[in-house]
């Protein structure tokens, strides 16, 4: 029997630090050996029953038994009875989890994508082994370590490209215009995953900051640097995009909130219990005597969760930002990671968090399947704000609790038709030909081998002309059936196709993050955020007036 089977059922974790602080910080905790003498505990009885059930299965089950899968399922099922966010991790899953917390992983450093039954390089990340080895946008991955990738999906290719740092992997690709496959040997390395992916100016006075990849150890420093960069470029207000940010470290949320909240202002209250059953409450507060007072519009949606909700809730409760978008996911539970023997791990809900006004953000999860909880909201959760508990912000604005963080201005997210989703495969396949100079009559769209990751996007960069759009349609028409696309899909989608084609060629020339600017600028929620900047300016000015006099910034903005 795997050691983890026994330890999951019989062991107790021992937190680091005192008074439960390790739990609040969501630090990784070592696994202990058991309860203190005298504790009331029935682990022995549970273990005996489990071992007896496993023994019966071994002796009488009609087929072969995979002990590791049985153990994993037992631990997973046990934790899932507690809440949707307490999870068990296999060795591979726990390594991936830890990489996300540290904002890096070990691999070659490239975004990959699947279209049809083939996997391609989408965008090598700047200054990574993949980029230095010469892999580029549109390369079709046909072999890894000499083994054909035929029949592999994108997940299998990704798992084979990742590995221990300093180990080597050979990758063979087909590139349009090259007479034979290209094979490169790549030494894996640590690959950073910055929390801030896009920083640019939406208008001469409104900056944009994309913070959508999670809260990691360096997130606070990244956001602070991005704010300084935007202000240096003339920003008088910032659109802070937290859509689809899954959360992460509570300390990172605190660090970012401190950039904008004054000393003494509460960021979040965390209420839980220690391993000995004692309850506690820790209030995290800002310690910044000179916070930034630039007006903020924060974008949120149903994918904004956990630490993203802590940050959004704190800024909303203190009237420090105007929230635009859709109601957040509603995850008000704090997990502590635990290392188990043999490389396994688990996260266990150890506390609940509350916004400064006392709002519990967590949605109800009792009598709801895991699928419904993660993918769909119940009918009562989409009926609006009726029945939700009301709270008052510092400036006496009404906000709501019990569902997630509700926006001040509701704007629905972008939706795409099935046909549009299918057409993205063809825009990519056309883009890889275009970027490699393989579309007749459009040699000027061939991109240089060196990707300019620091490029400031201009309207004149790789425009999609009527002639180029016509060339794409001629390319796509005979391939519609292969990808299961209706012949009518090419009709009435010109604006969408122009946008996607430009994003593809810009990805090849300047990298994925820069190319995303084409999509971001046209989103309805971003346009609405720009329109709401005057309201955010009023909120920021009012928040400044509500500060105690010694804490007011001396460099306050002017209307």
Per-residue model confidence as pLDDT tens digits over 217-257: 899 999 999 999 999 999 999 999 999 999 988 899 999 99
- Give mean pLDDT in consecutive 10-residue pieces for the chain, a chain of 559 residues: 35 30 38 44 66 86 86 84 87 76 78 97 97 98 98 96 95 98 97 92 98 93 98 98 93 96 95 83 94 97 94 98 96 86 87 93 80 61 68 94 91 93 97 98 97 96 98 98 94 97 98 97 98 96 75 43
Q: What is the CATH number of domain 104-192?
A: 2.30.42.10
Sign of CA dihedral 230, 234, 236, 237: negative
> What does the pLDDT read at residue 368?
77
Residue 536, burial from CB neighbour count under 10 angstroms (0-12, 13-18, 19+): buried
Q: What is the pLDDT of residue 548?
A: 62
Q: Which of 99, 304, 306, 350 is catalytic?
A: 306
Task: Check if 317 is active-site.
Answer: yes
At the topology level, CATH places domain 196-335+348-413 in 2-enoyl-CoA Hydratase; Chain A, domain 1 (3.90.226)
Strand-strand pairing, 322-325 and 409-410 = parallel
**Cα–Cα distances in Å, from 356 out to 282, 285, 299, 310?**
12, 9, 20, 9
Which of the residues 110, 123, 331, 513 is marked catalytic? 331
Tell me whether residue 266 is one of the annotated catalytic residues.
no
Nearest to 257 by CA among 214, 216, 288, 295: 288
Which residue among 72, 139, 293, 317 is the active-site one? 317
Q: Could you confirm whether 331 is annotated as catalytic?
A: yes
CA trace torsion 139, 145, 150, 152 (10° rounding): -90
How high is the pLDDT of residue 83? 86
Largest CA distance in the chain: 82
Instruction: Please indicate, yes or no, whether the overall pTM of this predicted structure exceeds 0.85.
Output: no
pLDDT at 102: 58
Domain range list for the chain: 3-91, 104-192, 196-335+348-413, 418-521
Alpha helices in 436-482 (DSSP H): 466-476
């Amino acid at each position: 029997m795997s050691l983890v089977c026994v330890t999951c059922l019989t062991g107790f974790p021992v937190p680091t630090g005192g008074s439960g602080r390790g739990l609040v910080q969501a630090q990784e905790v070592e696994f202990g050996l058991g309860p203190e003498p005298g504790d009331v505990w029935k682990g022995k009885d549970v273990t005996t029953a489990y071992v007896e059930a496993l023994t019966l299965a071994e002796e009488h089950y009609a087929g072969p038994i995979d002990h590791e899968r049985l153990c994993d399922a037992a631990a997973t099922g046990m934790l899932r009875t507690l809440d949707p966010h307490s999870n068990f991790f296999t060795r591979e899953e726990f390594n991936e989890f830890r990489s996300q917390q540290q904002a890096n992983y070990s691999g070659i450093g490239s975004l990959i994508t699947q279209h049809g039954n083939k996997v391609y390089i989408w965008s090598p990340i700047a200054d990574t082994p993949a980029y230095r080895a010469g892999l580029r946008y549109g390369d079709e991955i046909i072999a890894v370590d000499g083994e054909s990738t035929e029949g592999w999906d994108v997940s299998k290719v990704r798992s084979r490209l990742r590995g221990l740092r300093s180990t080597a992997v050979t990758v063979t690709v087909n590139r349009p215009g090259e007479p034979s496959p290209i094979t490169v040997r790549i030494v894996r390395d640590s690959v950073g995953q910055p929390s801030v992916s896009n920083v640019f100016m939406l208008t001469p006075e409104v900056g944009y900051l994309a913070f959508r990849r999670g809260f990691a150890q360096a997130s606070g420093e990244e956001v602070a640097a991005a704010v300084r960069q935007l202000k240096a470029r003339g920003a008088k207000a910032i659109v802070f995009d937290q859509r689809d940010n899954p959360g992460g470290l509570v300390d990172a949320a605190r660090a970012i909130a401190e950039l904008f909240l004054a000393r003494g202002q509460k960021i979040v209250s965390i209420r839980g219990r220690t391993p000995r059953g004692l309850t506690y409450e820790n209030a995290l507060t800002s310690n910044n005597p000179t916070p930034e007072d630039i007006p903020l519009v924060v974008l949120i949606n149903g994918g904004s969760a956990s630490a993203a909700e802590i940050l959004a809730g704190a800024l909303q409760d203190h009237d420090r930002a105007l929230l635009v978008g859709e109601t957040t996911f509603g995850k008000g539970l704090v997990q502590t990671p635990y290392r188990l023997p043999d490389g396994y791990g688990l996260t266990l809900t150890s506390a609940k968090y509350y916004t400064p006004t006392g709002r519990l953000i967590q949605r109800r999860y009792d009598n709801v399947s895991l699928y419904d909880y993660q993918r769909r909201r119940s009918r009562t959760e989409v009926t609006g704000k009726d029945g939700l508990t009301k709270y008052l912000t510092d400036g006496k604005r009404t906000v709501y609790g019990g569902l997630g963080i509700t926006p001040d201005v509701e704007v629905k997210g972008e939706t795409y038709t099935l046909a549009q989703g299918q057409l993205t495969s063809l825009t990519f396949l056309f883009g890889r030909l275009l970027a490699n100079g393989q579309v007749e009559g459009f040699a000027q769209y061939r991109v240089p081998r060196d990707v300019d990751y620091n490029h400031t996007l201009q309207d004149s960069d790789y425009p999609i002309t009527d002639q180029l759009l016509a060339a794409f349609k001629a390319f796509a028409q005979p391939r519609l059936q292969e990808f299961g696309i209706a012949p009518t899909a090419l009709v009435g989608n010109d604006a969408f196709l122009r946008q996607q084609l430009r994003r593809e060629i810009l990805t090849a020339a300047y990298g994925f993050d820069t190319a995303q600017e084409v999509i971001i600028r046209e989103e309805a929620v971003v346009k609405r955020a720009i329109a709401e900047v005057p309201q955010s300016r009023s909120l920021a000015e009012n928040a400044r007036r509500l500060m105690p006099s010694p804490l007011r910034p001396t460099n306050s903005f002017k209307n």
